[in-house]
Amino acid sequence: MKRGRVVAVLVGGVFCLAVMSLYRMLELMQGVERDRGGGTPVGQVEEDLSRLQLKIDRLERLLVDNNRLVARLRDSLLVRESPEGRGGANISSDSAHNRVGLPPGCLKVKEIKDGADGVQLLDVYDLLPFDNPDGGAWKQGFQISYRGDEWAEQPLELFLVPHSHNDPGWLKTFDGYYQDQTRHILDNMLVKLGEDNRRKMIWAEISYFSKWWSDIDDQKKALVRRLVETGQLELVTGGWVMADEANSHYFALLDQLMEGHQWLQTHLGVKPSSGWAIDPFGHSPSMTYLLKGAGLSNMLIQRVHYSVKKHFARQQTLEFLWRQSWDSSSRSDITCHMMPFYSYDVPHTCGPNPSVCCQFDFHRLPGGRVFCPWRIPPQPITEQNIKERALLLLDQYRQKSRLFRSPVLLVPLGDDFRYVESKEWDAQFSNYQKLFDYFDQHPELHIKARFGTLSDYFAALHRRLDAAGTTLPTLRGDFFTYADRDDHYWSGYFTSRPFYKRLDRTLESTLRATEILYTLTLADIRRFHDDSRLVEGFPAREHYQRLTEGRRSLGLFQHHDAVTGTARDPVVIDYGTRLFRAILNLRQVLLSSAHWLLLLDKSQYHKDQSKPFLQMDEVISAQDALPQKTTLTLDDEPRSLIVFNPTEQLRATVINLVVDSPDARVVDAETGRPIAAQMSAVWVEPSKVSAEAFQLTFVAELPPLSLTVYHVIKAPDGSTPRARYIIHRHGNPPTVHSEHFQVSQLEGTDVSTPLSLSNKHLQIWSSPETGLLQKLRLQSGLVRQVQVQFLWYGTRTSGDRSGAYLFLPGGEGPQVYSSSEPPLVRVTRGPIFSDITSCFPHFTHTVRLYHLDGHAGKSIEISNTVDIRSETNRELVMRLISDVASSNRFYTDLNGFQMQQRRTLEKLPLQANFYPMTSSSFLQDSTSRLSLLSAQSQAVASLRPGELELVLDRRLQQDDNRGLGQGVTDNKLTASLYHLLLEDRRGGAKEVGGASVEHLSLLAHLASLSLSHPPITMVAPGDGQLPKLRPFQPLRSSLPCDLHLLNLRTLEHPQEAGSPSQEVALLLHRKGFDCSSAPDPLPACSWSDEEEVNLDDLFSPLRFRSLRRSGLTLLRDHDQPDSAHQVQRVAPLRPMEISAFRVEIE
């Protein structure tokens, strides 16, 4: 009772404080309004009404936040009063967080256990010797035997699946391939499939198919539709590209899948049912989750480590149900077929002996341009040789069939850019048809063979499995890191062309922000006009086409030779130019949308693109240039600055501007409240300060999805707090002249004393010689050694060497980075941020602390600017060396969607222990966790306990013999950005043996969100009279901490191509977060263990006119009934799951 009264008093006090704060704010606002005065009576009324609405919204937000605080205190109390809460297994009495209960809704560590038939890939890796004995004809496998009567009861049912693998860019550009090959393949397909209805074909890349579709006439389009309807042509996967699965972020993976599926729905009215991924270099379960969520039920993969393939073939587990590691149910299961042999070409698909299979690739008949390297050419099938040829081929089919559990066999027939010429179609189809006819005429051979599609095969497979009562084994895990032969591990491409991997994520965040703002603008325009019509002035259709181009440019770059960095130099430039143009076009949409939403008087909106009302505060001058801040000219008139928060969370974030004055002040334009700021130097060289430009930094409090207006004004000399600097170079002190900043040097004993920075949450120590991080201490008292070190990897001196795909380091291993003279070290101390910058010849490295009260100040920002263009055959690595007792285990993310346990194995070569890291990695022991969150994808390894190393850039002079025909020498000045987060773990956070599922902490999720989706800063012109602007706040409060607004994407009008509809794809991802640490201080958002969420409450005051749950790619066939008749729209949102809704916003 006593405790209950204390809580009641505490809650009442918080509420009273909130209300008093609100009234004080109203008083301030009224004072500001009185000071401003003026305005026409009508304008004044509109402005007053608008302000009143904003104040009411604020009051409602405060009440909602107050209710959430009450709920959180209650939850905390309940947890503390529960038996577990009294020093039980989940709460450590000596933990800094023992005053905060177990976060509701968090996911405890669990060991993965499936039935006897379950396969865990981590255990397979522990089990395999990774030796490479010669298997005979099947070099990486084993001899396969059969008696001959195995098919007497159930004949072998064979599906030969013709395909042509069309890379949307690799050795040629996307357009180059289309003109030279792809259009001819598709033209011939129409003719040749039409000649015989027994012929079949599958096609995967919608980027090419849609381009061809726009080139053909209506008669040909009708033929295509007929081929699709009759099942002769199957569109497989249906993505814009066959995406990479290592470097791509799940937003982009889903976006390119949606772009392809929406195109197919509009133009062909079909939905894909089977996935086809024959060329991505390793496979991720994140992709399988998206495929299953998009309505696919089957899939096929090819590039898997040869030792794993061999093991699966021996166990007859090449077909399995691929299940998500975190899913205890079978909801996420998808049937997966793994191709057993070396490649997807004809020599490696009919059976285990490539020299025999090559004889049945009739494109290689004598006299053509392509031949069999085994020197036994194919023969045209004649009456004289058909028996011998049929039996030779049947033997291969039977051997391959022995690797599977059912008598249904899949044999692909194709290769890269096949079926360009009509004679190849004739050679393949006519010769195989003769063989199939022969099989039909000889029932004693017990084989039924025909051309088929992927769906034909899987339908027969499931039919046979059901009839026999056979179930497939379940599998959990991923298929990285891929090796195709010997010790040739494909871990190089996890980092190759890092400049473009970073540009990819810039486009991704720009696209998402623009989608959301554009959608909210259309809803606002419709509300403003009180009908479904769009305002004439706003270029909705033109903007929608810019959005579509942005989606397609991002989608194209997810191709497995694009984001991977494995295309030729001219092709990389073509991709880069597409990314660059897309960013510029999307910025136009973003600025135009923000312009509309900010205007108090909408009649003042103008769409003149030659004189945009708003401009970005930074410019990208070329496809291979880093963004540069534009210098704002300040005077006594306020410059309006608009900051868009693209996240669903209220955030305190640091905004950086470059201005032409050493003194400036920032005020909140709505309230007139001054904002804390810091003025810092702009360094044009390591020891040279700009005299014309200055960095202005301030802390912005940004409501979710809001546009907030600030005024920046020139201030009196010396009025803005300035950063102070220490410049040091060991043994050779530099001289620095600055008129506006205090710059000092280390002297006396300070020269050998560690440099130290601290904020309210943590303290760091760095080496005075190098400036590199050495140690970290949390406010709780937890201390960890965390040393930053840079290293070089070379490559082998003979034989195969590193290239775009492969990482083949030299035998000497990594060499510690050294330079001829010590680095220049620059220490910045200021009220908003402090940092230590180390300037080395090949990179500039900065470690920064932000002086922020909330959780945003708890991580360390690490940034690198790398330039290795002077080097030959070298790779630059950043290594973190800590005393976290992590053993041989560490965790990396898969596509930013989920975490995967990794084990560093001594039996594997060094390069095999590198894994893809799209956005996060962590090490942990029983008391602490060290998480590294990144704004770009790269390779990561933990070669020794407590260590993490990341490959920052690679420059390699030679080809690695995987078809590219060149090295990687087009390096750029490249930026990389990270947040480093050290957290206490509860004493009860137990290590689980075996393969365990772990998740990022809530704090790591929030830090990763802010890293991936930085605020977007826009400036209004500094001349002339500005129209009245008001901040835009579409949401009353933050979404729950663990709920991510993945997208709010306007869908295309079904009848008007290229125009927006009123329908919107609302995509929500509920993230799974770890139980072993609770954020302290508590963030502004809430969380709960309730699986059902009221969407009306969540998005208030936005209202949904209609809302239907759908599949992840919003195909109409997957829509559930509209929930408009429900009083409250409550939807289940389970942890880790992505949910998609088709909505109309009122």
Residue 11 in this model has a pLDDT that exceeds 80: no
8 Å CB contact between 363 and 371: no
Task: Identify the weakest region by mean pLDDT among 97-106, 562-571, 907-916.
Answer: 97-106
**In angstroms, rounded to a whole number, what is the distance separating the alpha carbons of residues 1079 and 1077?**
7
pLDDT tens-digit readout, 218-268: 999 999 999 999 999 999 999 999 999 999 999 999 999 999 999 999 999
Strands across the sheet containing 860-866: 742-745, 724-728, 824-829, 833-839, 843-850, 860-866, 974-984, 928-934, 920-924, 889-894, 898-903
User: How distant, in Å, are the alpha carbons of 71, 87, 214, 846 from that of 82?
Assistant: 16, 10, 65, 45
Q: Which residue has the higher pLDDT, 86 or 587?
A: 587
**In angstroms, rounded to a whole number, what is the distance separating the alpha carbons of residues 165 and 279?**
9
**In angstroms, rounded to a whole number, what is the distance separating the alpha carbons of residues 429 and 195?**
11
Average pLDDT in the 777-805 region? 97
Q: Is 340 helix (H, G, I), strand (E, B) or coil?
A: coil
**In angstroms, rounded to a whole number, what is the distance separating the alpha carbons of residues 200 and 895?**
34
User: What is the DSSP track for 735-790?
Assistant: ----SSSEEEE--GGGGGSPEEEE-SSEEEEE-TTT--EEEEEETTS-EEEEEEEE
User: At 550, which helix (H) or strand (E)?
Assistant: helix 540-557
pLDDT tens-digit readout, 1037-1086: 999 999 999 999 999 999 999 999 999 999 999 999 998 887 777 787 88
Residue 694's pLDDT band, with cuts at 50, 70 and 90, is very high
Residue 678's pLDDT band, with cuts at 50, 70 and 90, is very high
User: What is the DSSP track for 114-148?
Assistant: --TT-EEHHHHHHH--------TTSTTS------S
- Across 154-176, b (16+ Cβ under 10 Å) vs e yields eebbbbbbbbbbbbbbbbbbbeb
Q: Is 657 helix (H, G, I), strand (E, B) or coil?
A: strand
Average pLDDT in the 997-1013 region? 96
Residue 746 in this model has a pLDDT that exceeds 70: yes
Q: Percent of the chain having pLDDT more than 90?
A: 82
Q: Strands 1092-1094 and 1130-1132, how do they pair?
A: antiparallel
User: What are the beta bridge partners of residue 156?
Assistant: 447
Q: Which residue has the higher pLDDT, 10 or 1051?
A: 1051
pLDDT of 73 = 47
Q: Is 819 helix (H, G, I), strand (E, B) or coil?
A: coil
**In angstroms, rounded to a whole number, what is the distance separating the alpha carbons of residues 48 and 45?**
5
Average pLDDT in the 406-430 region? 98
Q: Phi and psi at residue 799, in whole multiples of 5°?
A: 70, -150
Q: What is the mean pLDDT of the chain?
A: 91
**In angstroms, rounded to a whole number, what is the distance separating the alpha carbons of residues 287 and 275?**
10
pLDDT of 78 = 39
User: What are the beta bridge partners of residue 1064?
Assistant: 1050, 1143
Active site residue 395: no
User: What are the beta bridge partners of residue 680?
Assistant: 695
Average pLDDT in the 452-479 region? 97
Q: Phi and psi at residue 413, in whole multiples of 5°?
A: -135, 95
Average pLDDT in the 502-522 region? 98
The residue whose two tokens read 């440019």 is 553
pLDDT tens-digit readout, 166-179: 999 999 999 999 99
Residue 714 in this model has a pLDDT that exceeds 50: yes
pLDDT of 768 = 96
**In angstroms, rounded to a whole number, what is the distance separating the alpha carbons of residues 709 and 696?**
16
User: At 984, which helix (H) or strand (E)?
Assistant: strand 974-984
The residue whose two tokens read 């967080």 is 97
**In angstroms, rounded to a whole number, what is the distance separating the alpha carbons of residues 39 and 1106?**
40
Residue 18 in this model has a pLDDT that exceeds 90: no
8 Å CB contact between 1114 and 1107: no
Least Cα distance to 126 among 810, 654, 902, 892 occurs for 902
Average pLDDT in the 844-852 region? 98
pLDDT of 113 = 72
Residue 663's pLDDT band, with cuts at 50, 70 and 90, is very high
pLDDT of 989 = 57
8 Å CB contact between 999 and 107: yes
What are the counts of helices (DSSP H) followed by strands (DSSP E) for the chain?
19, 51
Residue 109's pLDDT band, with cuts at 50, 70 and 90, is confident
Residue 423 in this model has a pLDDT that exceeds 90: yes
User: What is the DSSP track for 466-485?
Assistant: HHHT--PPEEES-B-S-BSS
Average pLDDT in the 873-878 region? 98
8 Å CB contact between 1122 and 1109: no
Q: Phi and psi at residue 293, in whole multiples of 5°?
A: -65, -25
pLDDT tens-digit readout, 943-996: 999 999 999 999 999 999 999 999 999 999 999 999 999 999 985 555 555 678
Q: Is the peptide bond before 548 cis (omega within 30 degrees of 0)?
A: no
Choosing from 65, 244, 279, 345, the catalytic residue is 279
User: What are the beta bridge partners of residue 335?
Assistant: 298, 321
User: What are the beta bridge partners of residue 1114?
Assistant: none
pLDDT of 13 = 57
Residue 610 φ/ψ region, left for φ over 0, alpha for ψ in the -120 to 50 degree band, beta for the rest: alpha
- Across 1049-1079, b (16+ Cβ under 10 Å) vs e yields bbbbbeeeeeebbbbbbbbbbbbbbbbbbbb
- Across 434-444, b (16+ Cβ under 10 Å) vs e yields bbbebbeeeee
pLDDT of 530 = 63
pLDDT of 898 = 98
pLDDT tens-digit readout, 612-646: 889 999 999 999 999 999 999 999 999 999 999 99
**How many residues in the chain?**
1146
Q: Strands 898-903 and 1043-1052, how do they pair?
A: unpaired
Residue 71 in this model has a pLDDT that exceeds 50: no
pLDDT of 528 = 77
User: What is the DSSP track for 27-73?
Assistant: HHHHHHHHHH----HHHHHHHHHHHHHHHHHHHHHHHHHHHHHHHHH
User: How distant, in Å, are the alpha carbons of 78, 328, 851 from that of 160?
Assistant: 62, 36, 64
Q: Percent of the chain having pLDDT more than 70?
A: 89
**Is the model's pTM score more than 0.75?**
yes
8 Å CB contact between 30 and 23: no
Query: For the CA atoms of the chain, what is the radius of gyration?
Result: 31
Burial of 111 (0-12, 13-18, 19+ CB in 10 A): exposed
